[in-house]
Amino acid sequence: MTKLLEWVFGVLLLGAAWAFVTFDILNMNLPRTYREVAWPMPLYLLVTFGCYSLATVGYRVATFNDCDDAAKELQAQIKEAKEDLRKKGFKF
């Protein structure tokens, strides 16, 4: 199953569950409070996911390592490499 299909199934499943409760499709006489809680659920989920995404990406950007030492090490090694290669007869 492709990722796209997985998503479609997932959304359909959740959507169906939501519709059953909110509109009491099976006439199960669900308590009013159930319906009132279920009705705005999709929006809550979306907003929560949006916040989670922003927070996660923000945190990861802020903690993205800057490898200053790696850059310095590389610069030093470039010098060393050039000298050594010249000694071995390499012409740049």
Partner 1 sequence: MASRTSTRSRRDGEKYSVLLPTYNERENLPLIVWLLVKYFGESGYDYEIIIIDDGSPDGTLEIAEQLQKIYGKDKILLRPRAKKLGLGTAYIHGMKHATGSFIFIMDADLSHHPKFIPEFIEKQKEGNYDLVSGTRYQGDGGVYGWDLRRKLISRGANFVTQVLLRPGASDLTGSFRLYKRKVLEALIERCVSKGYVFQMEMIVRARQLNYSIGEVPISFVDRVYGESKLGGNEIVSFLKGLLTLFATT
Closer of 23 and 90 to partner 1 (Cβ): 90
52 near 36, Cβ under 8 Å?
A: no
Q: Does residue 46 belong to the site contacting partner 1 (CB under 8 A)?
A: no
Which one of 2-10, 17-25, 27-35, 40-48 is the stretch in contact with partner 1 (CB under 8 A)?
2-10
Q: Does residue 82 belong to the site contacting partner 1 (CB under 8 A)?
A: yes
Cα–chain center distance at 37: 27
Please tell me the distance from the alpha carbon of residue 20 to that of residue 39, in angstroms, as a whole number. 10
Q: Which of these, 92, 69, 71, 70, lies nearest to 81 by C-alpha position?
A: 92
Q: Which of these, 8, 30, 3, lies nearest to 19 by C-alpha position?
A: 30
Q: Does residue 3 belong to the site contacting partner 1 (CB under 8 A)?
A: yes
Interface positions with partner 1 (CB under 8 A): 2-4, 7, 53, 56-57, 60-61, 64-68, 70-71, 74-75, 77-78, 81-82, 84-85, 88-92
